[in-house]
A and B are shown apart, each in its own frame.
Chain A
Amino acid sequence: MKNINFLVSGVGGQGTVVASDILAAVGMEAGYEAKKSDVLGLAMRGGSVTSHIRWSQGTVHAPMVGLGEINYMVAFELLEALRRLPFMNPEGTIIVNTQQLPPVSVTSGQTNYPSQTEIITTLKKHVKTVYEIDALSTALKLKNSKTVNVVIMGAASALFDIPTDIWEKVIAGTVRPKHVELNIAAFREGRKLMEVG
């Protein structure tokens, strides 16, 4: 089997790195060879963040991939989904959280943030399958905006034939012990978003 390549994109502070850790660990627990690569440092301070994750039944050599090679993009923010579009394989799948975090270049009035419709239209024009989810509203319903990342993982889990037990075990082992219950709830709510949609 060929590699399955993921790209997680978002803005520093959204919990994308934790989400990509979960994704990589689920791959390993499901029996795949797995590697991942993060870009950290300056990117922590409100900048763009990306992680590449690869699963394979064979050997994974490089921990990241080039343009046109991503099978699944999990985007935490609309503009960041669009920014990473060139990494997508046209036959791939995008899950995009419709949250908008305008960068300072927009709020200071230098440039404009494209509209949600414009962004989604462009994503759909180039990539076969695009799912829009509102993970922020779901997280706010759980009274914690920081669970957005696990809500999105819940949605992503619906795309794979991997038992939810594995996902929940990985999540429980990733977040702090006192937040396990909240995050499992967030995961389940996230998965429901895909079952309904």
Chain B
Amino acid sequence: MRKVLYSGNEAIARGAYEAGVRVAVGYPGTPSSEILENIAKLYKEDIYAEWSANEKVAMDVAAGAAYSGVRTIVTTKQVGMNVLSDSLFYLVYTGIEAGVVVVTADDPGMFSSQNEQDNRWYARIGKIPMLEPCDSQESKDMVALGMELSEKFNTPVILRTGMRISHSKSIVNLGEREKNIKSAKEFPRDIKKYNCNCIYSREKRQVIAKRLKDLAQWAETAAINSITWGDRKLGIISSGIVSEYAREVFPNASILKLGMVYPLPEKKIRDFARQVDEVVVIEELDPFLEEQIKAMGISVRGKDIFLAYDELLPSTLREQAVAAKLLPAEELPKQPNFDIGELPSRNAVFCQGCPHRSTFYLLSKLKVPVTGDIGCYNLGCLPPFNAQHTMGSMGASIGQLHGVSAAGGPERAVCTIGDSTFFHAGLPALANMVHNNMRGVIIILDNETTAMTGHQDHPGMDKTLMGKPTAKIDIENLCLAMGVKKVKKVNAFHVKEVEASLKECLAWNDGPAVLIPTGECIFVARNPKQAYAVDANKCIACGNCTKAGCPAIIRIDEINPKTGKRKMGINSVICNGCSVCSQICPTGAIYQTGRKEAAE
């Protein structure tokens, strides 16, 4: 048996392979993206994988595959569950022919998300069994277990991870791929089962109620709900990665670790509670377990000790436990008093060579209201641009622009949306703008990839996740076909061209105008460009180039004697040669060096 160090995401990909999955779908979103990427890279001979246009589409694809009789996995980040839940919930009613596991990667502490939501509630609202792994080994094993449960109980199963499972690595023992893999069979013409006509659904509702009881019964003896006995003074009930933190902070306590967080094994919890003096529920985010256990009439402590928001790291767990006198004060590590003063912040910025730089330089300069969307371009809300004024959810920018127009305010507004996001949820909103003849400029920032999450494909690209060539849907023609009368596609790296087109679109009065600044993301660019440099003799230290917000622009020691300001330079090691700074330099001091680094 081979031993490897896998992230939770790599382990789930491996789990899908070992469990005999045939179809894997999703939409990229941190921290879930690497699951499908690893499936497409490592198991492409055995599993069909795709990035669907959005999570709901992915869920419907999964339903069709599962009805056809093949095991299917769907991946999403926490907010994607909101998008796919519409389709997931009908699958609970219809059931399946072969297993479906939906992986939600939550983001406690909000490392890369617009909100912090505890997706364990989806188990309760949807009446869906939910598994929660504590490390990479369990992440792998629970895919196979989820498939078995899905088929045994005729329901989709949710596998919930979080940032610290998805992007942590721990040791995994690899197994073999399942021997008897299901193939697609003749599509079932079982209308009563698969058509959610309300007449049929009413009958299924009773089946779901019984299913939950059966699942809870199964959970009573399931090995994944395990007790480690220690000192009986303190009994801890926990799940997922937090149960690992609990073991570290309370090495002597008795711990009931719930590998299945819904439905709960009531008898097992009662037996555990009876055998210890005090029960404490340790869980990240909401009192999901605590409230259910209290509803059983069992006295426990939980959120009176531990905060109901943010990551519950081992260090905070320890602090909060000491404050509640669960641990003696001596347990707190002596933190050295290191005075490092106030350091310069290092916010994320557009990469050097990013095609979005010119657009945000101009939006900042023109000071127009900008409704924004989710993707790299949301970094335009940060200095030096401060130019993306809203950001709510995928595809929301076009609808918000619509609202700005409908409100009839005095200003001309624009919205920004990326190419992948446009296909995710922008299309219906644009159709709505066209239909209602609303004014505003939709800037579709086309960098020819889904950049923020790691350069995944989308319907506007000519390759699929599995590397197959495919038809590229042309955004310009698509907008024209949807009835937009003003569509301008421009080279994103030509600042003047972008500026002229933007002004032209802002002046447009006959319904929405679409501007498509197009340029490859540096991570998918095929031809590296030469680095630029500053001629210090010509540089007057005006600092205009810093308005492009490029990390390759630096200040040098030489000073302009008239102003006393330091002149500018370029870090040639990281410059990717986009030329935007040279175009906005008023004195022509920035030139291309002709230097190219040896290929990596």
Number of interface residues of B (CB under 8 A): 59
A61 in complex: contacting residue of B244, B345, B351, CB < 8 Å: B244
CB distance from B169 to the nearest CB of A (A): 5
Q: Are B598 and A47 in touch, CB under 8 angstroms? A: no
Q: Write the B167-180 contact mask toward A (1 if CB under 8 angstroms, else 0).
A: 11111000000000
Smallest Cβ-Cβ distance to A63: which chain B residue: B168
Given A34-B171, A61-B244: A42 and B348 interface contact (C-beta under 8 Å): yes
Tell me if B247 is interfacial: C-beta within 8 Å of chain A: yes
Taking chain B's interface residues, is the majority helix, strand, or loop, or is none over half, making it mixed? loop
- On chain B, the residues within 8 Å of A66 by CB distance are 313-315, 318, 333
Q: Write the B236-273 contact mask toward A (1 if CB under 8 angstroms, else 0).
A: 00000100110110000000000000000000000000
Q: Are A64 and B164 in touch, CB under 8 angstroms? A: yes
Tell me if B586 is interfacial: C-beta within 8 Å of chain A: no
Smallest Cβ-Cβ distance to B333: which chain A residue: A68
Q: Which of A75-124 contact B (CB under 8 A)?
A: 79-80, 82-83, 85-86, 88-90, 101-114, 122
- On chain A, the residues within 8 Å of B277 by CB distance are none
- On chain B, the residues within 8 Å of A89 by CB distance are 336
Bound-state Cα–Cα, A39 to B109, Å: 11
Smallest Cβ-Cβ distance to B29: which chain A residue: A41
Q: Are B340 and A101 in touch, CB under 8 angstroms? A: no
Smallest Cβ-Cβ distance to A27: which chain B residue: B5
CB distance from B541 to the nearest CB of A (A): 10
Taking chain A's interface residues, is the majority helix, strand, or loop, or is none over half, making it mixed? mixed
CB distance from A137 to the nearest CB of B (A): 11
Bound-state Cα–Cα, A57 to B43, Å: 33
- On chain A, the residues within 8 Å of B247 by CB distance are 61
- On chain B, the residues within 8 Å of A103 by CB distance are 344-347, 349, 551
- On chain B, the residues within 8 Å of A12 by CB distance are 348
- On chain A, the residues within 8 Å of B351 by CB distance are 13, 45-46
Bound-state Cα–Cα, A77 to B110, Å: 25
- On chain A, the residues within 8 Å of B241 by CB distance are 62-63
CB distance from B12 to the nearest CB of A (A): 16
Q: Are B164 and A37 in touch, CB under 8 angstroms? A: yes
Q: Are A86 and B338 in touch, CB under 8 angstroms? A: yes
Given A65-B314, A104-B349: A122 and B167 interface contact (C-beta under 8 Å): no
Tell me if B379 is interfacial: C-beta within 8 Å of chain A: yes
Tell me if B199 is interfacial: C-beta within 8 Å of chain A: no
CB distance from A103 to the nearest CB of B (A): 4
Bound-state Cα–Cα, A49 to B5, Å: 20
Q: Are A79 and B346 in touch, CB under 8 angstroms? A: yes
Tell me if B468 is interfacial: C-beta within 8 Å of chain A: no
Q: Which among A138-146, A153-161, A188-196 touches the partner chain?
A: A138-146
Given A37-B168, A79-B343: A109 and B546 interface contact (C-beta under 8 Å): yes
Q: Are A45 and B350 in touch, CB under 8 angstroms? A: yes
Q: Are B573 and A46 in touch, CB under 8 angstroms? A: no
Tell me if A74 is interfacial: C-beta within 8 Å of chain B: no
Smallest Cβ-Cβ distance to A139: which chain B residue: B573
- On chain B, the residues within 8 Å of A122 by CB distance are 340
Bound-state Cα–Cα, A6 to B64, Å: 46
Given A82-B340, A83-B340, A103-B345: A143 and B314 interface contact (C-beta under 8 Å): no
Q: Are B340 and A85 in touch, CB under 8 angstroms? A: yes
CB distance from B542 to the nearest CB of A (A): 11
A45 in complex: contacting residue of B333, B334, B348, CB < 8 Å: B348
- On chain B, the residues within 8 Å of A104 by CB distance are 347, 349, 383-384, 546, 549-551
- On chain B, the residues within 8 Å of A47 by CB distance are 346-349
Given A35-B168, A143-B597: A108 and B5 interface contact (C-beta under 8 Å): no
Q: Are A33 and B171 in touch, CB under 8 angstroms? A: yes
Q: Which of A165-181 contact B (CB under 8 A)?
A: 179
Given A45-B348, A104-B347: A39 and B167 interface contact (C-beta under 8 Å): yes
Tell me if B543 is interfacial: C-beta within 8 Å of chain A: yes
Number of interface residues of A (CB under 8 A): 65
B597 in complex: contacting residue of A38, A83, A144, CB < 8 Å: A144
Q: Are B170 and A63 in touch, CB under 8 angstroms? A: yes
Bound-state Cα–Cα, A80 to B315, Å: 22
Q: Are A62 and B244 in touch, CB under 8 angstroms? A: yes
Tell me if A19 is interfacial: C-beta within 8 Å of chain B: no
B554 in complex: contacting residue of A43, A80, A102, A110, CB < 8 Å: A102
- On chain A, the residues within 8 Å of B167 by CB distance are 37-40
CB distance from B353 to the nearest CB of A (A): 11
CB distance from B306 to the nearest CB of A (A): 15
Given A39-B167, A66-B313, A101-B551: A108 and B546 interface contact (C-beta under 8 Å): yes
Given A46-B351, A101-B551, A143-B597: A106 and B344 interface contact (C-beta under 8 Å): yes
- On chain A, the residues within 8 Å of B431 by CB distance are none
Q: Write the B473-517 contact mask toward A (1 if CB under 8 angstroms, else 0).
A: 000000000000000000000000000000000000000000000
Q: Which of A21-43 contact B (CB under 8 A)?
A: 21, 24-25, 28, 33-43
Q: Are A68 and B334 in touch, CB under 8 angstroms? A: yes
Q: Write the A56-74 contact mask toward B (1 if CB under 8 angstroms, else 0).
A: 0000111111111100000
Smallest Cβ-Cβ distance to A43: which chain B residue: B348
- On chain B, the residues within 8 Å of A143 by CB distance are 597-598
Q: Write the B561-586 contact mask toward A (1 if CB under 8 angstroms, else 0).
A: 00000000001011000000000000
Q: Are B344 and A68 in touch, CB under 8 angstroms? A: no
Tell me if A136 is interfacial: C-beta within 8 Å of chain B: yes
Tell me if A8 is interfacial: C-beta within 8 Å of chain B: no
Given A68-B334, A101-B574, A107-B554: A41 and B546 interface contact (C-beta under 8 Å): no
CB distance from A28 to the nearest CB of B (A): 5
Smallest Cβ-Cβ distance to A175: which chain B residue: B600
Bound-state Cα–Cα, A12 to B346, Å: 10
Given A66-B314, A103-B347: A126 and B549 interface contact (C-beta under 8 Å): no
CB distance from B178 to the nearest CB of A (A): 27
- On chain A, the residues within 8 Å of B555 by CB distance are 102, 106-107, 109
B164 in complex: contacting residue of A60, A63, A79, CB < 8 Å: A63
Bound-state Cα–Cα, A62 to B164, Å: 9
CB distance from B241 to the nearest CB of A (A): 8
- On chain A, the residues within 8 Å of B551 by CB distance are 46, 101-104, 107
Bound-state Cα–Cα, A48 to B597, Å: 25
* CB<8 Å pairs between A and B, sample of 22: A21-B169, A24-B5, A25-B5, A28-B3, A35-B171, A39-B167, A41-B111, A41-B112, A42-B348, A45-B349, A46-B349, A46-B351, A48-B346, A61-B247, A62-B314, A66-B333, A104-B550, A106-B555, A109-B543, A144-B597, A146-B600, A179-B600
* Chain B interfacial positions (CB closer than 8 Å to A): 3, 5, 30-31, 111-112, 135, 163-164, 167-171, 241, 244-245, 247-248, 313-315, 318, 333-336, 338, 340, 343-352, 376, 379, 383-384, 452-453, 543, 546, 549-551, 553-555, 571, 573-574, 597-598, 600
Q: A42-B112, A107-B555 are in contact. List 13 more A-B contacts (CB 8 A).
A: A24-B5, A28-B171, A34-B171, A35-B135, A45-B350, A47-B348, A48-B346, A63-B170, A67-B315, A86-B340, A104-B549, A108-B549, A179-B600
